[in-house]
Amino acid sequence: MDLELRQLRCLVTIVDAGTFTDAALELGVSQAAVSRNLASLERVLGVRLLHRTSRSLEPTTAGVQVLARARHLLAEADDLVREATTGHTRLRIGHAWSAMGRHTAEFQRRWAARHPDVELLLVRANTATAGLAEGLVDLAVVRHQVPAGKFAHATVGHEDRYCAMAVDDPLARRRTVALADLASRLLVVDPRTGTTSAELWPPESRPRIEPTHDVDDWLAAITTGRCVGVTPHSTVTQYRRDGIVYRRVRDAPPVPVRLAWRAHDPHPATHAAVALLGELYRAKRETASARHR
């Protein structure tokens, strides 16, 4: 099928302009070229698309359907061109749950001040690589192991683990909890993007595991009081919910925070993003160290 975008654009312009003459002016071609493009489109599709009289033109039933699809396809094509031509002036950073946690707003502010020519977009994608493998983003914030080979990464910081529980949970009366306190509990986890697994506990005293689909389902399950969750501190700052409290798990290993990118085709702003986020995590760690001196 020899279908071309210029034919679809011609159809849309004819309908929007109202006449072949105005469509020709809009497209910068002759009226004869407009007529040829429409005729060739009708031949390719095998249907009449417009009712034409000396005074008006209206889409046929088939024309209405083709017109709707043509608008969609042309918009997609325009997006593709725009994405390709602005690839270096837009940085998309993916995250599965909680972006940069407490550093999210400050990262956005500092990025806008330091790199005004590179638009920053945060994209939530609940996949193992936060949208990176799917081509949805240029960089991804991940808090688990990054697949080797195809992706490169840099560790920019670490976050303490916290237990999320219902406000009336007996453990909520404590300031902190230990892993042993959770060994007999039902633990809800996201197996695709979560940072918690039964391996945090000794083999002889591991909690029961229940999988969930995303952070909203995770929070909803915890609110019922029948289960708890263990998560990095970023979740605490990004997902404060009525009915849920967070308590630090004092003996759990910290969670590494990584920025990952495609190894063979990094975005030009990759190293600037790594440097800025590392700077924010270091500043927080230094502040905490000074407070404990």
Closest alpha carbon to 66 in 15, 26, 8? 8
Among 5-19, 87-101, 247-261, which stretch is predicted with the lowest mean pLDDT? 87-101
How does pLDDT run across 161-195, given as a tens digit for each residue? 999 999 999 999 999 999 999 999 999 999 888 89
How crowded is residue 13: how many other Cβ atoms within 10 Å of its Cβ? 19
3-state secondary structure of 242: coil
For residue 148, is pLDDT > 90? no
Report whether 183 contacts 201 (CB < 8 A): yes
For residue 147, is pLDDT > 90? no
Closest alpha carbon to 115 in 138, 133, 149, 89? 89
CA distance 231 to 159: 9
Given pLDDT bands bounded at 50, 70 and 90, which one contains residue 55?
Answer: confident
How confident is the model over 259-267, as a mean pLDDT? 92
Percentage, residues of the chain above pLDDT 70: 95
Given pLDDT bands bounded at 50, 70 and 90, which one contains residue 73?
Answer: very high
Q: How many CA atoms lie within 13 A of 181 on its CB side?
A: 23
How does pLDDT run across 80-133, given as a tens digit for each residue? 777 666 667 889 999 998 999 999 999 999 999 999 989 999 999 989 899 999
Whole-prediction pTM: 0.70
**Concatenated DSSP letters of 195-238:** S--GGGS-TTS--EEEE-SSHHHHHHHHHTTS-BEEEEHHHHHH
For residue 260, is pLDDT > 90? yes
Give the chain's radius of gyration (CA, Å). Answer: 27
CA distance 190 to 222: 13
CA distance 24 to 10: 9
How does pLDDT run across 126-143, given as a tens digit for each residue? 898 999 999 999 999 999
pLDDT of residue 292: 52
Given pLDDT bands bounded at 50, 70 and 90, which one contains residue 214?
Answer: confident
How confident is the model over 229-242, as a mean pLDDT? 93
Closest alpha carbon to 222 in 195, 185, 255? 185
| Domains with residue ranges and CATH for the chain | 5-85 (1.10.10.10), 87-158+255-291 (3.40.190.10), 161-249 (3.40.190.10)
How crowded is residue 118: how many other Cβ atoms within 10 Å of its Cβ? 18
Question: Given 3-state DSSP classes, what are the helix, strand and coil percentages for the chain, each rounded to the nearest 5?
Answer: 45, 25, 35
Q: Across all residues in the chain, what is the average pLDDT? A: 91
3-state secondary structure of 144: coil
Given pLDDT bands bounded at 50, 70 and 90, which one contains residue 291?
Answer: low
Report whether 246 contacts 128 (CB < 8 A): no
Report whether 170 contacts 241 (CB < 8 A): no
pLDDT of residue 81: 76
